[in-house]
Amino acid sequence: MGWTDKRKLDRDLQMFQYCFTKRFSLETPEQLLARSWQVYSIGDKMRQVSFGNFGRTRFEVLQVLNDKLIIVRRDHKFPTSPLTFVSVQLVAWWQTPTGFTTCSRTIRTPELEKALGPYEYYYDAFHWVGERSGPVAFGALAF
């Protein structure tokens, strides 16, 4: 399918980093931004792209701050786990000198964690997608 990937496990920080790359030679950064923003901001698109029919996903836009910045809640329940994975995320996009960046970052507060049920787990995540022209080296900041 044309994807390349690099992965790194940092045992000291208990963090898994990964980078997926694919070249879309027939699409502009603007077209890729539009598709990425749909995945991050529309529940059905996220469900299709990320999980397909595996498990259940709840998606709710909690607040629209502007056309480039929203706050969403995502819950994921997989048949292989008794837990429901819960997050509240800040989702944004912005223009860069070489294209665009779409970003999703969880918002973690004690109030959110106290509100969890016994089989809910609040997960921490930071994702970004660069929609740009030309290659970017793994580990390089391309914002």
Residue pair 72/62 in contact (Cβ under 8 Å)? The answer is yes
- Per-residue 3-state assignment (H helix, E strand, C coil) for 38-92: HHHHCHHHHHHHHHCCCCEEEEEEEEEEECCEEEEEEEEECCCCCCEEEEEEEEE
Distance CA 143, CA 102 (A): 10
Distance CA 91, CA 64 (A): 10
Give the start-to-end residue ranges of the domains of the chain.
Answer: 24-132
Provide the mean pLDDT of the chain.
82
Tell me the pLDDT band of 143, cut-offs 50, 70 and 90.
very low
How much of the chain, in percent, has pLDDT values that exceed 70?
85
Q: Express each pLDDT in 68-123 by its tens digit.
A: 999 999 898 989 999 999 999 999 999 988 888 889 999 988 888 899 999 999 98
Q: Residue 120 is which amino acid?
A: E
Query: Closest by alpha carbon to 18, among 128, 142, 133?
Result: 128
Could you give the count of Cα atoms lying within 13 Å of 37 in the half-sphere of its Cβ? 17
